[in-house]
Amino acid sequence: MQIVLMSAHRIVVATPAGYTGCGPTSEDRDCVLFAERVEVRRNAVEKRLRHLLGDVRGAPLAPVRLAEAMRYATLGGGKRFRPYLVIEAAALFGVTEQQALDTAAAIECIHCYSLVHDDLPAMDDDDLRRGRPTVHKAFDEATAILAGDGLLTIAFEILSAPAAHPDPAIRAQLVLGLARASGWRGMAGGQMLDLEAEGVLQDTASIRRIQALKTGALIEFSVDAGAILGCASAPEREALQAYARAIGLAFQIGDDLLDAEGSPEQTGKATGKDAGAGKATFVSLLGISGAHETLRALGSEAVSALKVFGRRGASLEEAAHFVTSRRS
């Protein structure tokens, strides 16, 4: 097993050959190294978001409350899974963490906005998120709506600013990709369909389609953003797209399993909601063991798509293992 240690960033790469599974009971060193790597990325993203969502006090009559709500919604929690994908996909092509950080932060802002709006009383009506009161509970509904709007908008501000990438053609491409992934034909459209699907009998194909928009589109774009930053070739980009499609679907199945099997302490949000609402999910359609089986198959599919990158694909492979065995 080859382990590369880059002391400057405390980055550890465990090669695919050395991977021995990362279940909750595993004490394997690779898991520790992967966890450390995730933590390094998470800290970098957190620090950057803290800077980008910096204090507005000082300006005359600054919208301090709005800025506070935006920071509350974004900082101090979250797995930073999408930023991890951006940074690791970009790293395949020699792009440094620093060079990918603003794109990663922008995508995280979109993710956080979607959580704030989805939690609103008129939508999923959730009181708990990441173990804390949701934004409309901690502030109020108007502030939560505006905080979501602010986070959605700042994502495009971050992505179109020169700090995101020196080449404006890359920046424009990133903006276009993010807007498509998160808008009416992407994430927002998926949330609409998901709301409409409540109480309506769904088949697996419909659930797949809804989740491909609601959750999959942004996860897929996170990986694609890394490819864009790295100026990937067409076959490399396609391989990453296949990988991203598999983990995007796996992520949602994992979410459904956590809702069915997990506890609020574990997930930081209410669980058992889907069954309570009589909502069709992958778990209700495939059963618990069927869902686990599909997860495993998707994990293999994701890992297989990475073959073209050889050993360089190790960290994305770890991400696939995380998605298919996550407990939070």
Q: What letters, b where the CB count within 10 A reaches 16 and e where it falls short, cover 261-282?
A: ebeeeebbbebeebeeeebbbb
Segment contacting a copy of itself (CB under 8 A): 190-198, 220-228, 265-273, 280-288?
Answer: 190-198
Q: Give alpha helix (H) positions in the chain.
A: 29-52, 64-74, 81-91, 97-118, 135-138, 141-160, 168-182, 187-197, 204-211, 217-229, 234-261, 264-267, 273-276, 282-305, 314-325
310 interacts with a copy of itself by CB under 8 A:
no
168 interacts with a copy of itself by CB under 8 A:
yes
Segment contacting a copy of itself (CB under 8 A): 84-92, 159-167, 241-249, 252-260?
Answer: 159-167
Contact 70, 53 (CB under 8 A): yes
**Angle made by CA atoms 84, 43, 25, in degrees to the nearest 5:** 70
Report residue 268: phi and psi, to 5°: 75, 10
13 interacts with a copy of itself by CB under 8 A:
no
292 interacts with a copy of itself by CB under 8 A:
no
146 interacts with a copy of itself by CB under 8 A:
yes
288 interacts with a copy of itself by CB under 8 A:
no
Question: Of 193, 270, 285, 308, which lies in the binding site for a copy of itself, with binding defined by CB under 8 A?
Answer: 193
Residue 319: name the closest of 227, 264, 251 by CA.
251
Segment contacting a copy of itself (CB under 8 A): 31-39, 180-188, 257-265, 266-274?
Answer: 180-188
Which of 42/273 has CB closer to a copy of itself?
Answer: 273
Segment contacting a copy of itself (CB under 8 A): 82-90, 117-125, 275-283, 319-327?
Answer: 117-125
Closest distance to a copy of itself from the beta carbon of 164 (Å): 9
Contact 97, 9 (CB under 8 A): yes
> What type of residue sits at position 43?
N
285 interacts with a copy of itself by CB under 8 A:
no
Question: How far is residue 34's CA from residue 256's CA, in Å, rounded to a whole number?
Answer: 24
**Angle made by CA atoms 72, 78, 84, in degrees to the nearest 5:** 125
Region 22-81 residues binding a copy of itself, contact defined as CB under 8 A = 56, 59-63, 65-67, 70
Catalog residues that contact a copy of itself under the rule CB under 8 A: 56, 59-63, 65-67, 70, 113, 117, 120, 122-123, 140-143, 145-146, 148-150, 152-154, 156-157, 159-161, 168-169, 171-173, 175-176, 178-180, 182-185, 188-193, 195-196, 206, 209-210, 213
